[in-house]
Chains A and B, each alone.
Chain A
Amino acid sequence: SQTIHQWPATLVQPVGSPLSLECTVEGTSNPNLYWYRQAAGRGLQLLFYSVGIGQISSEVPQNLSASRPQDRQFILSSKKLLLSDSGFYLCAWSSLGLAGTDTQYFGPGTRLTVL
């Protein structure tokens, strides 16, 4: 079965510090990968998606970047965090290879607080 991991689970960082969040998927190959941000009490905003190694598409201009160094690894980074980067970061995967499904499966999330 497929599983998705995210770490760390929680993170408190000062303004101006760098950021690296990691997401890995097990049990599937060539997944589509996604990073979302969820502000407190709000909906999910798609930040980045990737259809393959090294292929990253950005949905919104911002202080963040993403990379996909391996097939099942997706990394969200920032060089200098802003207060507005606080939120709940969710990684998700989907597979166009599975017949009849467009489902995205979400990881457990990382709670980021920038002080």
Chain B
Amino acid sequence: QQQVKQSPQSLIVQKGGISIINCAYENTAFDYFPWYQQFPGKGPALLIAIRPDVSEKKEGRFTISFNKSAKQFSLHIMDSQPGDSATYFCAAKKGGYNKLIFGAGTRLAVHP
């Protein structure tokens, strides 16, 4: 119940295309769902986050879609650019202490 399942493991998208990464969870007590972007050799950086009372959140080219009934959420990267090539992690938080459960990550490659 504590797992967050992320797919696909890797993704190749052409420049200008849409990148879509999906995550699913079991625990309905999760109350915060962030996405992190990580470049090789660097620490993850928060990209965008959503709470379960909202179905969609958009920040620039990045959008989170959240389906509470299906216990799924996804990251959409519009107009994908080579600079977006990185590993993306979804995560979920339950309760206090801000403990995050991370998905296994998706390695995105955007080809020019």
Given A32-B98, A90-B43, CB of A42 within 8 Å of CB of B104: yes
Which one of B44-52, B67-75, B76-84 contacts A? B44-52
Complex interface bits, B49-72 against A, C-beta within 8 A gives 1, otherwise 0: 100000000000000000000000
Report the minimal beta-carbon distance from A69 to chain B, rounded to whole angstroms: 20
Report the minimal beta-carbon distance from B109 to chain A, rounded to whole angstroms: 14
Q: Does A19 contact B (CB under 8 A)?
A: no
B97 touches A49 (CB 8 A): yes
Classify the secondary structure of A's interface with B.
Answer: strand
- How many residue pairs at the A-B interface have CB separations less than 8 Å? 55
Report the minimal beta-carbon distance from B61 to chain A, rounded to whole angstroms: 20
A49 touches B99 (CB 8 A): yes
Determine the chain B residues whose CB is within 8 A of the CB of A46 once the complex forms.
Answer: 99-101
Report the minimal beta-carbon distance from B3 to chain A, rounded to whole angstroms: 11
Query: Which of these, B32, B42, B46, B89, contacts A43 with CB under 8 Å?
Result: B89
Q: Does A7 contact B (CB under 8 A)?
A: no
Docked Cα-Cα span, A90 to B49, in Å, equals 20
Docked Cα-Cα span, A107 to B93, in Å, equals 19
Report A5-45 residues with CB < 8 Å from chain B CB: 32, 34, 41-45
A109 touches B46 (CB 8 A): no
Q: Does A104 contact B (CB under 8 A)?
A: yes
Please give the residue numbers on chain B whose beta carbons come within 8 Å of chain A beta carbons, in ascending order: 6, 32, 34, 36, 41-46, 49, 89, 93, 96-105, 107
**Beyond known contacts A96-B98, A104-B100: 11 more, CB 8 A cutoff:** A34-B99, A42-B104, A43-B89, A43-B102, A43-B103, A90-B43, A96-B96, A102-B98, A103-B46, A109-B41, A109-B43
Listed by A's residue number, 9 A-B pairs whose Cβ atoms lie within 8 Å are: A32-B97, A32-B98, A41-B105, A43-B104, A90-B43, A94-B98, A96-B96, A102-B32, A102-B34
